[in-house]
Every structure is written in C-alpha cells, then in structure tokens.
Structure 1
Amino acid sequence: MPPVAIRAALLLAWALLSSAPALAAAPSFPVQVVAAIPHDPDAFTQGLLFHGGALYESTGLYGQSSLRRLDPATGRVLSSRALAKPYFGEGLALAGDHLYQLTWREGRVFVSRLSDLAPVRELPLATEGWGACTLGHDLVVSDGSDKLFFYAPETMALRRTVSVTDAGEPVVRLNELESIGGMVWANVWGDTRIAVIDPASGRVLAWVDCAALAAGVTKTSPDDVLNGIACDPATGRIWVTGKHWPKIFEIKVPGLPFGHPGGTRRQP
C-alpha cells in the first residue's frame, strides 16, 4: 500500500475509534441484610462455601490457617482441622465430594474429604492462591491479579485464562470467588463491592455493594476487609463475611438482573 494510502487508512481507523462509544461501567446494586449470625472474630476468612446444610470455611495466616465446618444457623464451628504452620490457607472450593483449599505462596492445593475434612492428597499450583470456586467442570482460581484461571480439578492442568475488566479497564486484586447463576462473584481485596463477572468474556456485569455491611464492622486491622461468599443454589441463599468479622451476613440483592442462584445468564 502506498504511503499516502497507509496514512489515509490510519486516519480513518483513528476517526472510527474516536467516535466509538466508550464501554459503560457496570452498575452497582446495594445489598439488603436478611439475617446475621455470629462468626469467630479470630477467623481470617479466605474462603467460604455452602453444601449439604453446612458452611465450610478456609482461614489464613501462618500458624493460624484451618479448614472448618460451620453451623449456618448459629455460626458455631462444628469441626476443624489446622494446617501445618508453613502454610497460609486461602480460597476454598468443592469439586465432587472433595474440598480444594488453596495456599497463598506455597504452590500447593490441599484436597480433603468433605465428610470429615481429612486430607486426601496435594496438587501443584503454579501461581499464588487467592480465591477459588467451581464452575461446571472447572476449578476457577484467582491470584490477586486481574486474571481468572480455569483448571482441571483432578490434575490442576490449566484449561484457559480470562482477564477481568470493567469499562475496558483491568480489575485487579481479585480474591475470594463463588459461582452463582452461571457467573463468578469475586471479592476485590480492599473493596466493599463484589464483582459479578461473565466467565466467558471476563467483563464485570454488575457490582454488589456491601459498603453498608463493612460500615457496621469494627476493624482491628486494615486487613479486616470484606472476604468470603457462599451460596446455596437450591434455595438462593447467599452469605458474605470478612476477615476477622464477628458476623456472617445472609444477603439479598434487589434489582440484580443476572448472577442469581439457579438463574439464567442475561446480558445487560
């Protein structure tokens, strides 16, 4: 192509890009509290899930990390297993009848029996571990960046990755994850909002605003942030909590048009 033609093509492309509408930021929906139950304020919550009438929790910090089963009516710890001191517990997911507990920087995934929390095996993790959930046949993992990693849970073989964006900008510090209504809900470290993410495109379709919950929590450290999402798809109940928070909140999100338990995916 002659230089003049190249310049004309570049100018046309720039004009088209300049006139294209910018991607709109995802809308935000405030939560409403349905109920609140006590939560161990010593628990540095890294992962939370619901299954079979119980809540399961992964807690962090070196020398304090654990895997727990909780009573969702009272918050009482029904059973617990401590991690060895060199490990910092992180995100938690359920695949089949096994719990998958990430470690932060130790490159390991601990697989435990759901029935009694007994360890079964260890698997490798190529990145830092922050959050985890299962979506279909994938184990979805965050590492604190803007990426979601989709693994085969049996082997931790990487299947694909997706970059998470809102209004075209990367959303970083992705933390605890939960799959709800075909979407991935993600805590963002230090943010009082939860991102509702389309797992195919990585686009944030909505924000679940939990600022009202955080405002009522007395923090003992800057690290005591919103973290922990659990969902019962059979009933639609959703719970959230935070690191060292004294309560677990059951919430609902009026007006949220997608990402509901058992709901169908619908683009805004």
Structure 2
Amino acid sequence: MNNFKLLTILILSISFFSCGSNSDKKSSDFSLRTSENKKEFQLGEEVQVSVLNPKNKNIDSVSFYFEGEKLQAENGNFRTTINLNDYKLGNQPIEAHIFTEGEKQEVSSTIKLFNDTAPVSYTYEIVNSYPHDPEAYTQGLEFYNDTLYESIGQYGKSNLRKTDLETGKVYNQINLDDQYFGEGITILNGNIYQLTWREGEGLVYDLNKFEETGTFAYNESKEGWGLTNDGEKLYKSDGTEKIWILDPETLTETDFIQPAHHRGLSSKLNELEWVEGKIYANTYQKDGVAIINPENGAIEGLIDFRGLRDKVTQHDKLDVLNGIAYNPNSQKLYVTGKNWDKIFEVNIIEK
C-alpha cells in the first residue's frame, strides 16, 4: 500500500473518531416518563412525571424542574406531579437532576401545553375606508400621535414612511439600502424600530428627526417578521412558533411565548399589533388575525377577515392581508394588505 493511501486512511480514521457521534458524551442511565406516556396537555390538567431506572441504580435524590421552577419530589417513588395552571403554553421541557452513586445525571422530556378553551370566533364590519398606495408592499403599520407609520418590503424597494391616513399622502420617507427587505415596525421611547427579513438585524430611527441612528442584531431568532410593544417591552415574530420578547434597552431576546390554541401551536404569525393588552397577529397568507394573551401565549380569539381582499381594486400585484394598526387615541382598528389600494377601519364583532 503506498504512502498516499496510508495517509488517506489515517485522516479518515481520525475524522471518524473525532466527529463521529459524540462518543465521549456519556448517556444517562435514566429517563423520564409522563402520565400514560402522554405528551399533550391543556391548562388545568395534571401531569405525573417519574424517573425510569432500568439498571436499578441506587438513587440518593431527585430534583425536578419545570419552566425554571423547582418542584416538590416524592422521593420514595422519585416522581412529581405538576398542576398545569399558570404556565406558558407551547413546547415545555421537564428536567430531572438525579443524584446517584456520587454523581449527578440530568435527563429531560418535553410536553406540549395547549390552552384549555377554544378561541372565540369574530368577524368584522367595515366602518370606513381610506386611500392606500397600491405599490406599497405593506410589512408593518403603526399609529403614533394620530400619524400613521408604515414599513414597506421587497428588495430594492423597501422604505419607512410617515403618512396621513385620510389622504394617503406620504409626509416623509426613508429608503432602505438594497440589501434590506423591510419588515415589521414599532415605536417606543422616542425611537422607531424596523425589522429586516433575512439580514439578521433591525434598524433604529430617531422618531422626531426621522433619521436612522443605528442597528441591532438578532440573537436566537433567524428572521424578522412582525414587531410591536406594550409600552415597556418589544415583541418580535420570526415565522416560527415563537414570539420573542426583547429588552427595550439592549434589544436582545430575553424570553419568548409560543402562541397556542386548545389543539396546537401556531406559526407564521406575521404583522403584530398591541391592542388593549393583547397582541393581534395575522397569519401569513391567511385571512385571519389571532388575538393572543402576551402572558402565556394563549390564542383567545380569531378574527375572520375573509372577503376583505375582494373589496380592493384587483390587479396583478395584489397580495395577502398584512397590516394591522390600532390608534389608542381614537380606539379605532385599521387593516390593509400588501399592494392594497385601501386601508379599512373595522369593528370586530363576535360571531
């Protein structure tokens, strides 16, 4: 065998043993079992969690954790019971720290926690309509002091606008660099925050001067979709099952909620708006808006906006519903879509 073949075999052997399958990582001797191996629960239910010990090792003690909270363990049986009352919804890990024979082993299992009631169904009535630029690929919409701000998307066409609702006139506009695809916006503490789609950063503007002052990086989230705030914190959607909560000073992602109804989780939540203590979120490519409890992610209502798109001028560029704006001064709600020539003031009515 020549030297070249020997070198090749040596390199392949090193690669196999060094990056094969984490062979140096010790697997646990234990695992967790939930009630009847059930993995999906609703608020108000109980879940019993027990440690499986197939090797019959001597266990000194077990500590259970759920949402960072240490739970009371029944050490005689090495199990615990979780009352699922005041927890966040979504995929939630249960962890156990097992102390055995002079060492600690950690194991985990994940359950899905859903809401305990179905969302309330709503429809709408049109109160008024106003002109909207049919060339505007609307990605974000927000009122501040009765003035409407809008984020426009598409590469090479993205911008931030300050507009008049009544006439559709654009007071001022900042064009984004061609590398950016504009997404959701929100206004807080004298700043306008604008997301970009896949560029991994958001843009910051001085509200009064209406000029860009900086950028901020995304952390765990990969994309920017919708953005809103509750007067203290920012909420950011990224197309996944999560709505991220951002620190208003550092703009880092500090936590998240996972919007869920009584049967499952929701994803592709796009434009966000804060409306009287709830998050309104439209689902991308759907004619509906979810009403979300920001404390635990529960989807408490669904607004059916089917038929609204038929009431705008039909043309080749016409796209989906996307744009929710609530004026807290007048307590009026407005919706529009990508390349729609109208913004609608609507009342929401329970079905």
Q: TM-score range by the shorter chain?
A: 0.7 to 0.9
Residue 176 of structure 2 is matched in structure 1 by: 83
SS of the aligned residue for 2:187 comes to strand
The CA deviation at 1:129 is 0.2
Are positions 1:37 and 2:133 aligned together?
Answer: no
The CA deviation at 1:156 is 1.5
Are positions 1:202 and 2:297 aligned together?
Answer: yes
SS of the aligned residue for 2:228 comes to strand
Residue 212 of structure 1 is matched in structure 2 by: 307
Q: Tell me the distance in 2 between the aligned counterparts of 1:37 and 1:65.
A: 22
SS of the aligned residue for 1:164 comes to coil
Superposed CA offset, 1:189-227 (max 9, x none): 0110100000111111001121121232325257x1100
SS of the aligned residue for 1:154 comes to coil
Q: Tell me the distance in 1 between the aligned counterparts of 2:283 and 2:248.
A: 24
Matches within 5 A, 1:80-159: 80-126=173-219, 127=221, 128-159=223-254
The CA deviation at 1:124 is 0.8
Matches within 5 A, 1:248-259: 248-255=343-350
Equivalent of residue 147 in structure 2, options 50, 54, 59: 54
The CA deviation at 1:131 is 0.1
SS of the aligned residue for 2:122 comes to strand
Residue 273 of structure 2 is matched in structure 1 by: 178
Aligned residue identity for 2:301: A
Superposed CA offset, 1:132-163 (max 9, x none): 00113111000011211000122112221111
Superposed CA offset, 1:6-35 (max 9, x none): xxx966x87xx8xx8x94431221111111
Superposed CA offset, 1:164-212 (max 9, x none): 1122301110100000010000011011010000011111100112112
Q: Tell me the distance in 1 between the aligned counterparts of 2:131 and 2:280.
A: 23
Superposed CA offset, 1:46-66 (max 9, x none): 000001121000000000000
Instruction: Give unmatched runs, 5+ long, in structure 1.
Output: 1-8, 257-268
Question: What TM-score, normalized by structure 2, do the two folds share?
Answer: 0.65
The CA deviation at 1:255 is 3.7
The CA deviation at 1:238 is 1.0
Matched-pair contact (CA < 8 Å) for 1:31–1:210: yes
Matched-pair contact (CA < 8 Å) for 2:181–2:197: yes
Are positions 1:74 and 2:170 aligned together?
Answer: no
Matched-pair contact (CA < 8 Å) for 2:195–2:202: yes
Q: Tell me the distance in 1 between the aligned counterparts of 2:302 and 2:202.
A: 29
Instruction: Give unmatched runs, 5+ long, in structure 2.
Output: 1-33, 46-114
Q: Tell me the distance in 1 between the aligned counterparts of 2:345 and 2:254.
A: 33
Matched-pair contact (CA < 8 Å) for 2:131–2:166: no
Q: Which has the larger radius of gyration?
A: 2
Q: Tell me the distance in 2 between the aligned counterparts of 1:192 and 1:142.
A: 18
- CA RMSD between the two structures: 2.2
Matches within 5 A, 1:18-33: 23-33=116-126
Q: 1:160 to 1:219 in 2, by over 3 A?
A: farther
SS of the aligned residue for 1:144 comes to coil
